[in-house]
A = this chain, B = another copy of it.
Amino acid sequence: MIAGVPINRGGNTGEAGVTVLLTQLTKGIYRRTSEAELGMRLKDFVALAYMRAHSGISQHELGEAIGVDANNLVILLNELEETGWALRRRDPDDRRRHLVDVTSKGAAALAKAEGAITLVEDEVLAALSASDRATLARLLAKAMDRVPVGAAQN
């Protein structure tokens, strides 16, 4: 008791939930990366990496997948087009849609950023063995395979 206010004792004192751990780990990566080292912002990296893995995806689907609202994605893709890293083209089958792709120049920038990201991941995941890291990557991929991040709808 401090000043008459009861303090929590005992009960659940360990076992941090997945949400807390994911938050910590993600923040750890974000705080250790810098635009200078990556050659791009982390949000550029995430968008380009997803676009490379899903060539010709629609702008809308991209936003759903990486959790960026449609309006913010417009701005992000504008910037990626200005740097020459990505391209939008109209979907001939549905002229409302934009199909997005990484350019060769974007792929080169992405590859460079991946080198820098790997160093950060090595640091943040230093406590894990190579086998542990492979398992972690596999489980994360499996979890994301089914469920979209879910961008807000208008």
**Interface set of A (CB-CB < 8 Å, partner B):** 2-3, 5-9, 11-29, 31-32, 42, 45-46, 49-50, 52-53, 55, 65-67, 84, 87, 89, 101-107, 111, 114, 117-118, 120-121, 123-128, 132-133, 135-137, 139-152
Contact = CB atoms under 8 A, between A and B. Distances in A.
Q: Is the interface of A mostly helix, strand, loop or mixed?
A: helix
Given A22-B22, A65-B24, A146 B127 contact: yes
A22 B24 contact: no
A59 to B, nearest CB: 15
Given A139-B136, A150-B31, A125 B53 contact: no
B18 A22 contact: no
A28 B148 CA distance: 7
Contacts of A45: 19-20
